[in-house]
Each structure stands twice: as structure tokens, then as C-alpha cells.
Amino acid sequence: MDVKIYEYDVVVVGAGLAGLAAARETTAAGKKTAVITKLHPLRSHSGAAQGGINAALGKEDSVELHAFDTIKGSDYLADQDCVELMCNKAPETIRWAEHMGAVFSRDEKGDIAIRPFGGQSKPRACYAKDRTGLTLLQTMYEQAFRSGIEVFDEWYCSDLIYKDGKVSGVVAFNIKNGEMAIFNSKATMFATGGYGRAYKINSNAHANTGDALSIVARHGLPLEDMEFVQFHPSGIGGSGILISEAARGEGGRLFNSKGERFMEKYAPNAMELASRDVVSRAIQQEIREGRGVGPNKDSVYIDLTHLDPQIILTKLPELRELAITFLGQDMLKEPIYIAATAHYSMGGIPVDINCHVRKNPNELVEGFYAAGECSCVSVHGANRLGANSVLEALLFGRHAGESIVKDIDNLTLRPVSIEDAQNAINELTWAKTNNGNERVPALRLELQESMTHNAGVFRTAESLTKQIKKIKELLKRYKNIRIDDKSHTFNTELQEAIELGHMLEYSLFIVEGALARQESRGAHFREDFPTRDDVKFLKHTYAYMDKDYNITQEYADVVLGKFEVKERTY
């Protein structure tokens, strides 16, 4: 196979908020930068963020309160130094985005409008109606493009070039024509987003298959805290398409089939604005105990009919359209069906406070960076607060770009050869020519259904052990797949076959981490260990995979600070 070699100072994989913010910084600093993305940048999943981006802009709010809420929300697993950096820089980040052209909604005084979100002491989610992510994504793309980034859209990153503790770029293929290329660079950054599609009911885009996580793990590098998967309380019943937390922030109320406002039992003070893990478990518990609503009794109601219709029409117009389109229900006139949906990954590629990827808890990889949802700088710990993800992506994406600019003069361009692409070539050739009898969609559905059932909102040793066996069975069957499309042009069947391999591998990290963590903390809830165990598990999980899919784990200390670890109540 003919393999082209491109040379850049910086290669960024992923074109959401984190990737574009980093690329904008490196390009503005005069560094030749390439952005590689499966999609056009404006189709990145950052654009699906609806409700807001957190910053302590309110007169009664403070950076310290933002940090406290974030750490409490994380069930004290977040690293407090990273949280402090994020919260301190949040107001500046909002101003930075605004000065680049982001148009936020305004209050009656003309200030940036803020709304309450779950787990917040004070309202602090700055928003642009209910399409905040798209507003910011469009702004970042315009400014990154203006600064001169080169975008390779519809290119699939299939391998990392990693040798002797240094990353020297990536291998990718052009989805449009099958062309393979090496992108050789001094600095390489992953900003590839999350992995919610490992679950059947999820709020994630079709492209969110978590490829970067498995690519990193295949090189013997660790993944951190993968057991912590957030389930958003309000996905549209049956499909999981997101109804933003903004619906509860503006005053939405949750009811079961008996007409009970059931959050009174689970979070009597915060009610519907408790942290996401608390509300998700409450919803699922009501459904499990037979108080669900809808045709399959697998949802609860969110009711906004008591609100002034103008609030919905001006602040939540997209949410109303989604409910009408996918449920046939108009939230102006009636309550709508919602249920918990797989939404966000707290874990990922471990990085330090300056976004350098870790080789282990004590060593860094040279020339390798990560930011956004695929990374784990651990500002979310065991549970993320709503509107902190958009902040993390934008802020740490920019911060990663700044780190690269500081480091790059001390990084060398290690020469590469076509041999560095051999593993990727072999994988593509195998997927195209393998002549088994298993089909990718069927295997993927089995993975998603079993992950939802055995490693979802509620977990036990029995269900997790069952799921490990299931994934290992699916990995064996995956070796026996066959695809019918042998072409080079837009071969999405081939792409989905490659993606499934990644999904199976990182799912094993989720389940193995969940089985080993014999406690309940944040989004990780073990019914057989229902309490938090700070003596044994106030630790980050670092997990490694060998070539036979065996997972080994070690633990690293959480960075504590001025906020004392205590029981979390809402």
C-alpha cells in the first residue's frame, strides 16, 4: 500500500471544542498544525451540548464555591489542583470565547445569562439558549480556521506512532478513498471525545466510538478511572436523545406513574437539581419498582407545563422540538417521557495538569497530549456536574495548546517510515479480507445491550463478572467477522468494523475497573457495596491491557486540598 508521509509541528486528532481550541493556540503561535477528524469539525459532538458552560460570574457566586461544588459532585475523587485551575480560569475562558464572537444569551441587565444546574450552590451555567455547544463550536472553528489550521476531515486515525517513550505522530486513512498516510509530528494531541456508544441507550453521536482509548491501550499505556460512566437523568424515553439539564434548571419537575414528585425521597433539599448520578439512580429506582410511565413503563415524567410558555419558547426551543419530533409530545401542553441515558465518560487517557499524557502515575510520555472527554485530568472524579464538560473541553483544550507551544522547541521530529504504518495496514487488510460468519452490527448490539444490563446504572459482582465473560466471548467472535463492502470509497462498513474492535477493548476496562472497585462512589454504584470506602478506594484506577486482553490494575493517589473529604448529601 502506498503510504504518504506528512510532516507537521503539531497534529491534533479530533475537531471538537478541545481539539479546535488547542489547534487555534498552536497555529496562532506560528506552529504548523494539522487537525485530523472523522467528521467535518462542525459535526463534532461538542455541538450537541445544550444547557451551558459553567463560570462563577454571578454576584453571589465565587470561584471557591464552583470548586467546592465540583469536588463534592465528584464524590471527592477529582484532583483538587486541577479543579482549582479550571474554576479560576473559567470566567476568563467565557470572556475569551465571547471576545472571539460567541453570542451568549443575555439577562435583562444585558449581562451574560446564567441558569442553575444540578449540584450547584449558585446558578452559574452561562448559556446560548439551549444550543450552547454549537454556538461555541462554530466560534472556535471560525477562529481556528482564520488562524490557519489545516483540517483533514473524513480521515480516520487508526494508530499511534509510539516508540521508546515518545509519540511521533499518527497513522490515518482517508475515508473518502482509502488512502493511508502517516502524520509525523513533534507534538501529537488526542481530543477525540467520549465512548457512550458502548451502551444501547445513549445520548452520544454515531461517531463517539472511543477509538483513541483503545489505540492508546494497545501500546501498553494506561487508561484511568474507566469504571466511572455518567448516566444523564433526562434522555428521551426509549431513545436516549438528550433533554438538557436546562429543563430542570428552568424549573422542570419529575413525577412517577402515581403522580408523586419522587425526588423528595432521594434529595429532599436539592430535589431535581441534585447531582446527575443521584437523579439518574432515583429515576431508575422508580422504574425498577414499577412506577414507570410510557408504553413500556420504562420512563418517568418531566413536567414543564407550570412554566411561562415564553421560558420554553425562548430558552428551551430545541428541547421542545426534540420532544415533538421523537415523542410526539409538546412540553408546552403535557409532561414528556424521560429516562437515564449513557452520556459522559469521567475516565480516559490519564494526563497531568498541563495535559501531558502519563505513561504511568509517575512518568510522562514525550510529545503526547490529550484534552476533553477522551482525557482524564480528573476534574470530574466519579461524577461530573452539568455544564462542567463544555468548560473542561474549551479550557483544557486551550491549555493543552499553550503547553504544546511552551514545549515544542524542546521536542524533536523523530523520522518515521512506512513500517510505522504496518499495524494499521494489517488491521485494515484483515477487516476487508476476513471471511468469517459474524456480522458487525449484531456483535455491536450484543455489546451495547449487555453493557446496559450488566454494567449500567446499577452493578453487582455477579453482573460485572457475567459481562467480562460476555466481552471476552465477543472478542473471540470478532475475530470471525466478515464485511461485504471491499471498496475503497466511503467504506463505512469497514470503518464500523474497526470501531467495534475498539469498543470491545475499552468496554473491558470499564467492567474490570467496576468489578475491582468494591464501593459505590459517584456514578459507579455497586448494589453489593452500597457505601463509599475512602480507606481502600479514595484512589484513581490505572489499568493496562496486554495483547491477550488481560487487564492489570494499580491505584494512584487523589490530589487532595483545602476541601475536606466528607459525606455527600443533597
Cα 558 to Cα 121, 382, 457, 473: the distances in Å are 24, 12, 24, 34
User: Looking at the domain assignment, is residue 376 inside a domain?
Assistant: no
Q: Which of 349, 361, 342 is nearest to 396 (CA)?
A: 349
Neighbours of 239 (CB within 10 A): 16
- pLDDT in tens for each of the 570 residues of the chain? 789 999 999 999 999 999 999 999 999 999 999 999 999 999 999 999 999 999 999 999 999 999 999 999 999 999 999 999 999 999 999 999 999 999 999 999 999 999 999 999 999 999 999 999 999 999 999 999 999 999 999 999 999 999 999 999 999 999 999 999 999 999 999 999 999 999 999 999 999 999 999 999 999 999 999 999 999 999 999 899 999 999 999 999 999 999 999 999 999 999 999 999 999 999 999 999 999 999 999 999 999 999 999 999 999 999 999 999 999 999 999 999 999 999 999 999 999 999 999 999 999 999 999 999 999 999 999 999 999 999 999 999 999 999 999 999 999 999 999 999 999 999 999 999 999 999 999 999 999 999 999 999 999 999 999 999 999 999 999 999 999 999 999 999 999 999 999 999 999 999 999 999 999 999 999 999 999 999 999 999 999 999 999 999 999 999 999 999 999 998
Whole-angstrom distance, CA of residue 254 vs CA of residue 264 = 10
Tell me how far apart the alpha carbons of residues 70 and 80 are, in angstroms, rounded to a whole number.
9
Cell of 285: 429506582
Task: Look at the alpha carbons of 524, 528, 532, 533 in this order and tell me if their dihedral is positive or negative.
Answer: negative
Where residue 268 sits, what CATH number does that domain have?
Answer: 3.90.700.10
The last residue of one of the domains, among 282, 310, 338, is 338
Do 426 and 331 reside in the same domain of the chain?
no
Range of the domain at 466: 420-531
For residue 11, being part of any structural domain is answered with no
The grid coordinates of residue 51 equal 444547557
Residue 430 lies in a domain: yes
Residue 431 lies in a domain: yes
Q: Is 24 a catalytic residue?
A: no
Residue 494 CA, distance from chain mean position: 24
In a domain, 164, yes or no: no
Task: Give the C-alpha separation, 350 to 154, whole Å.
Answer: 27
Residue 170: what pLDDT?
Answer: 98
What's the rounded Cα separation, in Å, for the pair 89 and 104? Answer: 18
Distance CA 16, CA 136 (A): 10
Q: What are phi and psi for residue 418, nearest 5 degrees?
A: -60, -25
Q: How far apart are CA 20 and CA 17, in angstroms?
A: 5
Whichever domain contains 447, its CATH number is 1.20.58.100
- Inside any domain, residue 61: no
For strands 125-126 and 114-115, give the pairing: antiparallel
Residue 247 belongs to a domain: yes
First to last CA, the chain: 59
How far apart, in whole angstroms, are the C-alpha atoms of residue 433 and residue 279? 47
Catalytic residue among 276, 414, 521, 568: 276
For the record, the C-alpha cell of 524 comes out as 459507579
d(CA 521, CA 523): 6
DSSP code at position 384: P
Copy the grid coordinates of residue 392: 473542561
Given a contact cutoff of 8 angstroms between Cβ atoms, the answer to whether 541 and 224 are in contact is yes
Domain finish residue from 322, 338, 354? 338
159 with 66: CB under 8 angstroms? no
Instruction: Give the span between the Cα atoms of 203 and 475, in whole angstroms.
Output: 25
The overall pTM is greater than 0.85:
yes
Assigned domain for 112 exists: no
Angle among Cα 184, 189, 191 to the nearest 5 degrees reads: 135
| Count of H-run helices and E-run strands, the chain | 16, 20
State the CB neighbour count (10 A cutoff) for residue 141: 25
pLDDT confidence of residue 265: 96
Check whether residue 334 and residue 424 sit in a common domain.
no
Q: How many domains does the chain have?
A: 2
Instruction: Please tell me the predicted confidence (pLDDT) of residue 1.
Output: 72
